[in-house]
């Protein structure tokens, strides 16, 4: 106990406070949550593909979630307009990846296994898919999402938006 009746601050928490002093409140909160979910220092933790991720499961999970969507899409997709044989305009709305009121998606081939955001079906490498298109400085939050071309084109043929 200190002179004021409070328990003394652990040394690692004290150094963490100094480390976070220049960060904004939101970043401090995220850093504290990650720190709280991490094992003690020097504990090896393997992430996707066996990569050691600084001994922190929270960091491993965050990096893995950026790499590939972890499940079926739970938001809203509406076909706005067919722009060409390989391009379509979609309205995309999802709590985790944001809202795009008029987003260009282009037909391509899947580079890796994934899950169709429209149907929840498996996508295999080489399958015809639609993905958010265009070369931008900032990738959209849904850049790693794909839709099976067959599913999107079937929905379009049925006149469903």
Other Cβ atoms within 10 Å of 77 Cβ, number = 19
Judge whether 133 and 104 are in contact, CB under 8 Å. Answer: yes
Q: pLDDT (tens digit, 9 = 90+) per residue, 41-88?
A: 555 544 444 444 455 555 555 544 444 555 556 788 999 999 999 999
Task: Tell me, letter by letter, the H, E, C secondary structure of 97-156.
Answer: CEEEEEEEEEEEECCCCEEECCCCCEECCCCEEEEECCCCCCCCCCCCCEEEHHHHHHHH
Question: Who's near 76: CB < 8 A, 6+ residues apart?
Answer: 91, 92, 93, 94
What's residue 129's pLDDT? 97
The pLDDT of residue 51 is 45
Q: What is the pLDDT of residue 53?
A: 46
How high is the pLDDT of residue 159? 81
pLDDT the model gives residue 3? 52
What is the pLDDT, as a whole number, of residue 45? 47
Looking at per-residue confidence, does 130 or 4 come out higher?
130
Q: What is the pLDDT of residues 6-18, one digit of tens each?
A: 555 455 555 555 5
Residue 116, by phi and psi: left (phi above 0), alpha (psi -120 to 50) or beta? beta
CB neighbour list of residue 33: distance below 8 Å, 6 or more residues apart: 58
Q: Which residues of 11-49 are buried (b: 16+ CB within 10 A; e: fewer)?
A: eeeeebeeebeeeeeeebeeeeebeeebeeeeeebebee
Residue 14 pLDDT: 53
Residue of 117 and 159 predicted with greater confidence: 117
Question: Which has more confidence, 5 or 107?
Answer: 107
For 23, phi and psi rounded to 5 degrees? Answer: -85, 155
Domain layout of the chain by residue ranges: 11-67, 76-157
Tokens of 79: 């076909």
Give 93 or 40, the one with higher predicted confidence.
93
Q: What is the pLDDT of residue 116?
A: 93
- pLDDT tens digits along 97-148: 889 999 999 999 999 999 999 999 999 999 999 999 766 677 888 888 999 9
């Amino acid at each position: 106990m200190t002179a004021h009746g409070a328990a003394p601050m652990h040394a690692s928490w004290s150094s963490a406070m100094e480390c976070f002093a220049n960060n904004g409140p939101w970043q401090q909160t995220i850093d504290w949550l990650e720190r709280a979910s991490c094992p003690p220092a020097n504990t090896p933790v393997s992430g996707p593909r066996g990569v050691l991720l600084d001994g922190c499961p929270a960091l491993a999970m965050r990096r893995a979630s950026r790499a590939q969507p972890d499940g079926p899409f739970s938001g809203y997709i509406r076909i706005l307009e067919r722009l060409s044989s390989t391009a379509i305009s979609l309205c995309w709305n999802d709590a985790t990846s944001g809202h795009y009121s008029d987003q260009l998606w282009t037909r391509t081939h899947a580079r890796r296994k994934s899950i169709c955001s429209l149907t929840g079906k498996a996508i295999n490498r080489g399958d015809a898919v639609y993905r958010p298109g265009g070369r931008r400085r900032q990738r959209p939050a849904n850049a790693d999402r794909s839709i099976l071309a067959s599913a999107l084109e079937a929905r379009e043929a049925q006149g469903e938006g």
